[in-house]
A and B are shown apart, each in its own frame.
Chain A
């Protein structure tokens, strides 16, 4: 198992190299001049040329990439073109906010989605099942930003229950989490329901009932555990979409996360900031996938033996 984890972490290196190269290429090939962005429209051509030389922008693109990667490997992610502060500090002051938002959204999804899915499956075709299926359909069809704005309108402006913007207290996270998690919550409810229904039809569930197991035991001990695999996969996949969804939600709720930072950095052609943000993003997704696979192994002994010991 440990060997498997180490292997997986090492396998992330080529992925990181590939992604960094693609992003670096895009940033270099798209039009726009960082020197111009820093000095403004009124700068003299001499000043611009001097700054370009200074920032190493005149060197060959491959050389610049190589230099960037060597520095990054040593932990030096450069200075942001636009804010003139070290990229590392900038990224690390904002990532925790975004991660917190995504993590709370996941918890919101899991705590609501799995139980609703289970109840729907157990009470198939009942009123409660119909309500949750219609609810799920609605949630998937509503655009996230619209839901966010409606929540602000109702809960903040009209009833003054929750703060509309900022990150000062846990209350600030409630509406963003609902906005961000809504669509994925709907997916999770459906996946849980359909997998529970699929597993209930399996022969070993009949065996469990033939042993004299009661309804609750059959649902939780025998069915849910087997239905968990696709559910865990879905949650892992949702984390990726949550991180990207966070970009919109952060701007709706005025939260200082990576989302707003990446958008501004791209506008300003702030290559070091964009690169570092994307690389962290990749690492986080990679780690989440690894965690999902480890949870797989914990749930399913067949997966465990395929990892070797």
Chain B
């Protein structure tokens, strides 16, 4: 059996708000093998960002908290690590790329300084001169001229900024890269370039990656395995082949695939999933998808289905037992 870089078991995360407790993640199980890329897919509000923020332990203070579950990073339990311990891991063993490159860079520091900062924090022993050379090398790797490191974020385009963010995230050659919709804010042509580059760099550094996206096309191109999330749970998980070939699927997965245009088939119109995501403050009993499910059974209304395994393919649905 291959080594796992990330294992999340039965994770629960909630946000405390004025309107009530938001149950953002509810018993999430997730595994990622070393060197592989996992695509995390789901509608807006499914809890994808919350999941990765939990791994980084960067949930908003006083509002968000992990109430249950364990997170293993490279076999070590990081669930109860103290903040100072987490600081040694962040940017070093595990890095994160945020959704919007426009706002993720500090406007008053030069991009060179911002990249160098990660190295100063985790590899101070290199010394100033070596760090400086490393910054040049990394900029070169993400396809930016090293002379531009003295410039400030406002002097770069969106795509370039995302390259800088990626450079920062990969500077310490992390074991795990969490990329939260890294290309959604970019132009389609730039999207492809950036994704291609991330894939290449990930292989160079033998980094494992968790890629959050709405785009099933992107998943097909870049990921080894896929997890589909709904209302804070993974409802179907498997290799690319398990998910993309016809056969047993969760009705939500089927709905997701029907709601994107398929160029090979001559379908006249898209069929989006009917209804809305349930309110995370008041989740329905049983399977959270049952109010929208076209194949809803009686048992779905009151009992949460167990996970059924078919080799690498796992589905959480009463239709499959």
CB contacts (< 8 Å) of A204 on chain B: these are 103-107
Establish whether residues B106 and A207, one from each chain, have CB atoms under 8 Å apart when the complex forms.
yes
Q: Which residue of B lies closest to A200 (CB)?
A: B61
**Does A305 sit at the interface, judged by CB under 8 A?**
yes
Tell me which of B22-30, B31-39, B114-122 binds A.
Answer: B114-122
Q: From B102, which residue of chain A is reached at the shortest CB distance?
A: A203
Known A-B contacts A301-B154, A302-B152; A212 and B88 likewise in contact (beta carbons under 8 Å):
yes
Do residues B107 and A210 form an inter-chain contact, with CB atoms below 8 A? no
Q: Given B56, B88, B106, B165, which contacts A208 in the complex, CB threshold below 8 Å?
A: B106
CA distance A32 to B165 in the complex (A): 71
Cβ contacts under 8 Å, A203 to chain B: 98, 100, 103-104
- Whether A209 pairs with B58 at a CB distance below 8 angstroms is yes
A165: CB under 8 A from chain B?
no
Contact partner, B118, options A211, A225, A226, Cβ 8 Å: A211
Interface size on B, residues (CB 8 A): 31
Per-position contact with A for B38-64: 1 when CB-CB < 8 Å, else 0? 000000000000000000101000000
**Residue A53 at the chain B interface, CB threshold 8 Å:** no
**Interface SS of chain A: helix, strand, loop or mixed?**
helix
Which of chain A's residues has its CB closest to B83's CB? A215
Binary A-proximity of B121-136 (CB < 8 A = 1, otherwise 0): 1100000000000000
Mostly, the B contact residues are mixed
Nearest to B89 among chain A residues (CB) is A212
Given contacts A209-B90, A212-B87, A212-B89, contact A222 B106 (CB under 8 A): yes
How distant is the Cα of A305 from the Cα of B153 in the complex, in angstroms?
12
Distance from A214 Cβ to chain B, minimum over Cβ atoms (Å): 6
The reply to whether the CB of B162 lies closer than 8 angstroms to some CB of chain A is: no
- Residues of A near B122 (CB, < 8 A) are 212
Complex: A300 Cα to B106 Cα, angstroms: 11
Find out whether the CB atom of B104 lies under 8 angstroms from the CB atom of A212.
no
Q: In the complex, A203→B107 CA distance in Å?
A: 11
In the complex, whether A123 has a CB less than 8 A from a CB of chain B is no
Contact indicator per residue, chain A 205-249, by CB within 8 Å of chain B (1) or not (0): 011111111110000011001100000000000000000000000
Q: Are B90 and A211 in contact (CB under 8 A)?
A: yes
Given contacts A203-B103, A204-B103, A206-B98, contact A300 B108 (CB under 8 A): yes
Could you say which residues of chain B place their CB within 8 Å of the CB of A23?
A: none
A30 interfacial contact with B, CB 8 Å: no
Is B121 a contact partner of A299 (Cβ separation < 8 A)? Answer: no
Q: Which residues of B contact A141 (CB under 8 A)?
A: none
B155 interfacial by beta-carbon distance below 8 Å: yes
Query: Using an 8 Å CB-CB cutoff, how does the interface string of B299-317 with A read, 1 for contact, 0 for none?
Result: 0000000000000000000
A169 CB–B CB distance under 8 Å: no
Can you name 30 A-B residue pairings with CB atoms under 8 Å?
A202-B103, A203-B100, A204-B103, A204-B105, A206-B98, A207-B98, A207-B104, A208-B106, A209-B90, A210-B56, A210-B90, A210-B98, A211-B90, A211-B118, A211-B121, A211-B168, A212-B87, A212-B91, A212-B121, A212-B122, A215-B83, A225-B108, A225-B109, A226-B108, A301-B107, A301-B154, A302-B107, A302-B152, A302-B154, A305-B154
Interface residues of B, Cβ cutoff 8 Å to A = 56, 58, 83-84, 87-92, 95-96, 98, 100, 103-110, 117-118, 121-122, 152, 154-155, 165, 168
Closest 9 pairs (CB-CB, A-B): A212-B91, A211-B91, A301-B152, A203-B103, A212-B90, A204-B106, A210-B96, A207-B104, A212-B87
